[in-house]
Amino acid sequence: MKRECRLPTSLFLNLVHVCLVQANYAPYFFDNGASSSNGNMALFSLSEDTAVGTHVYTLNGTDPEGDPVTYGITFEAGARKYFAVDENYGNVTLIAELDRETQDEIEVLVNISDGLSTVAEKVRIVITDANDERPEFINTPYIVQVQENTPVGSSIFQIEAVDRDTGSGGSINYFLQNIHTNKFTIDRHSGVLRIKTGINLDYEKARTFFVTAVAKDGGGKLRGNHKVYSATTTITINVEDIQDTPPIFVGTPYYGYVYEDTLVGSEVITVVAIDGDRGKPNDIYYSIVNGSEGSFEINNATGAISVVKSPTKLKKEVYELKVQASEIGSEDNETAHTSTTVIIRVVDLNNHPPTFYGESGTQNQFEVTLYEHPLEGETLRGLKITVNDSDQGANAKFNLHLVGPGGIFRVVPQTVLNEAQVTIIVENSAAIDYEKFQDLTFKLLAVEVNTPEKFSSTADIVIHLLDTNDNIPKFSSDYYIAKIPENSPGGSNVVAVTAIDPDSGLWGELKYTIYGTGADLFLIHPSTGIIYTQPWAILDAEINSKYHFFVKAEDIEGKHSLAEVFITVLDVNDHSPEFSENIQEKTMIIGSPVKVEVGQNIVKMLSMQVEREGKGQKIFKRSFLERSEGHSRALRKFCNSTMKKEIVEKYLSLSSLFLLSFSLSLFIYIYIYIYVFLSSRGYLHLCCLASFGYYPTSL
């Protein structure tokens, strides 16, 4: 007969429970690979131009027992949080803007839980590039010095721009604007600037060129659209002079006159030559090559031609002198000299005043255009002035004078016999300032020297000045002081700085920049000079309330000036008082003062006492409540948020005693109030109001 072994039902259920508890398996993620949009985010990548709020991924997994699972995503301590996840559905949403150039990889910890077990996996999310960066030129401004004899096609400079994007969006091509009228070309890949084929530079024709270069990236996708960015910069090319131009006679043709009464040794005419290379001019040596026949000589340094024979012994009525001007110290003898013809007539009469002539005949006003601050010794080439006195001999001798602001120009020649080409030469370059005068006006006066009639004539000389970059930007103040509240949002304007460059055109346009250890939280608009906070800047007066840095105003050629900026961050009431944990307990006796100390905050509550003095006279001593500013608000906040349980219990115990004392005191006050009201209808009721914290100005 078989024997059956039966287990009690309760024991069997316990065993089953134990087995079920021990058999719980942890949940796990699905690993669907890099191309999937759901799983455990392994090998997941995301473009940096993805909009905030976009659903970018779905965490997906399961539990072996079929229990419901929840999802989570966490970041390392101190790291910026870029994603949020729906714990029930696993939907991952982008909550912060991405920037590959700042952070190209994000490390997160994704987890899945069935309520009993939690599985976490560390994954790295790769941020892919979008074409969101512009090319930027480096090492600007670009100022190039090139000699005028530089061969055609020579490399004279190289510009460089960078683009922080990758791929085609980070590749840069260069080109020049106005390519058809430009004298230069640029290599589209390297940025090397060259002189265009068939172009020769000439310092005497053009001394400065402004070339606009463009850097353009290869384009790329940005928020679903194909985007191409570019940047421009200006290259200033200064041509340097070399010794390649012979001397030039000014005031030609030359006519001189000798009269019968002219004294031996008298000056007849002065020739003037200047070095054609005005950048580095040489001195001039004058000589008579032929035609003098021993009747005339020339001053080798000044070019003054004098008669060395008595006019009565001159055999000709007209002498043609060949005069040569040579550069002193020039190694190239072929190009270092030039010659001209001087015609000298022997005449005698005095019935005409000096007269000025232009290219079209008699003229009494001459105009010329000139760049400010020309080189001293330079002539006003645009003036074509001839002065003539048709008389002969001493009667045709007259002096030339410039009447106007003194010391700026001088006239050559100063003494004329009969006829001469008038040349005006720069004496004081500093006084020829476009910012002071746009036009200069002089009177050219011709007055006969040795005649009793003193015939004379005048002509107006009007000089129109053109601007050059000869001024440095200047700030309206050496320093700027500003204040800004600490709760100002990012991008808030702080202060506007202003600098002025009197120069015109591109030279007068300024670019503002800031630098210094205190400038990290601020930006400046390059054109307006408005200083504002960084979009991400958070000001905190409790951390740093003072900022100091420098602002620079710079023109296109790099001329600049500096000013200092001092910014004070103003404190606002953005912190609540907080209790420390040093709370003292004290036993309160009803009717006695109670003192509760919480850190530095002291609350004293004194009961009100009533005394009688004299017949029918009642004097009340007011109780007072001394409390630190805002203590009541701090107590409520502290109790609701940060006070530990045991401290709250102590505080409530004290509050209960206080309420008991307050109730007894209130009973006494009401009794006294009724008494006073019936007897004198006085102001004793104000004492009751005082117990609630209201104190009248007078009692």
- DSSP character for 630? T
* Contact in structure between 271 and 340 (CB atoms under 8 Å): yes
**Strand partners of residue 349:** 392
Q: What is the pLDDT of residue 343?
A: 94
Q: What is the pLDDT of residue 31?
A: 85
Three-class DSSP category at 250: strand
How many whole angstroms separate alpha carbon 208 and alpha carbon 468? 10
Three-class DSSP category at 28: strand
Q: What is the mean pLDDT of residues 632-653?
A: 45
Residues 6+ apart with CB under 8 A from 556: 141, 234, 236, 469, 506, 507, 509
> Which of residues 74 and 654 earns the better pLDDT score?
74
Omega before 354 within 30 of 0, i.e. cis = no
In the numeric block, the tokens 């104190």 are attached to 695
In Å, what is the CA distance from 569 to each residue of 369, 486, 545, 566?
54, 6, 5, 10
- What is the distance, to the nearest Å, from the Cα of residue 443 to the centroid of all Cα atoms in its chain? 46
* Contact in structure between 237 and 207 (CB atoms under 8 Å): no
Q: pLDDT band for position 10 (50/70/90)?
A: low
**pLDDT, tens digit, for every residue of 83-104?**
999 999 999 999 999 999 889 8
- Which of the residue ranges 186-200, 270-284, 297-311, 603-617 would you say has the lowest mean pLDDT? 603-617
pLDDT above 50 for 699: no
Tokens of 243: 């010794």
**pLDDT, tens digit, for every residue of 651-687?**
445 555 666 667 677 777 676 766 555 555 444 444 4
Closest CA to 445 of 492, 398, 491, 509: 398
The 3-class secondary structure across 363-385, one letter per residue, is: CCEEEEEEECCCCCCCECCCCCE
Residue type, 401: H
Tokens of 139: 């090492």
Q: What is the pLDDT of residue 583?
A: 52
How many whole angstroms separate alpha carbon 694 and alpha carbon 690? 5
Q: What is the mean pLDDT of residues 398-424?
A: 90
Tokens of 300: 């080798």
**Strand partners of residue 249:** 273
pLDDT above 60 for 467: yes
Q: What is the pLDDT of residue 604?
A: 37
Question: Rg for the chain (alpha carbons), in Å?
Answer: 49
**pLDDT, tens digit, for every residue of 177-199?**
988 888 899 999 999 999 998 88
Closest CA to 503 of 428, 426, 559: 559
Q: What is the pLDDT of residue 674?
A: 66
Q: pLDDT band for position 22 (50/70/90)?
A: low
Q: pLDDT band for position 298 (50/70/90)?
A: very high
> What's the pTM value of the predicted model, to 2 decimals?
0.41
* Contact in structure between 558 and 517 (CB atoms under 8 Å): no
* Contact in structure between 201 and 238 (CB atoms under 8 Å): no
Using CA atoms in the order 468, 469, 473, 474, what is the torsion angle rounded to 10 degrees?
A: -40
* Contact in structure between 493 and 530 (CB atoms under 8 Å): yes
**Average pLDDT for the chain:** 81
Residues 6+ apart with CB under 8 A from 116: 24
In Å, what is the CA distance from 301 to each residue of 38, 270, 273, 274, 304?
95, 11, 11, 12, 8
Tokens of 104: 């190209």
Closest CA to 373 of 436, 428, 450: 428
Closest CA to 642 of 586, 584, 581, 583: 581
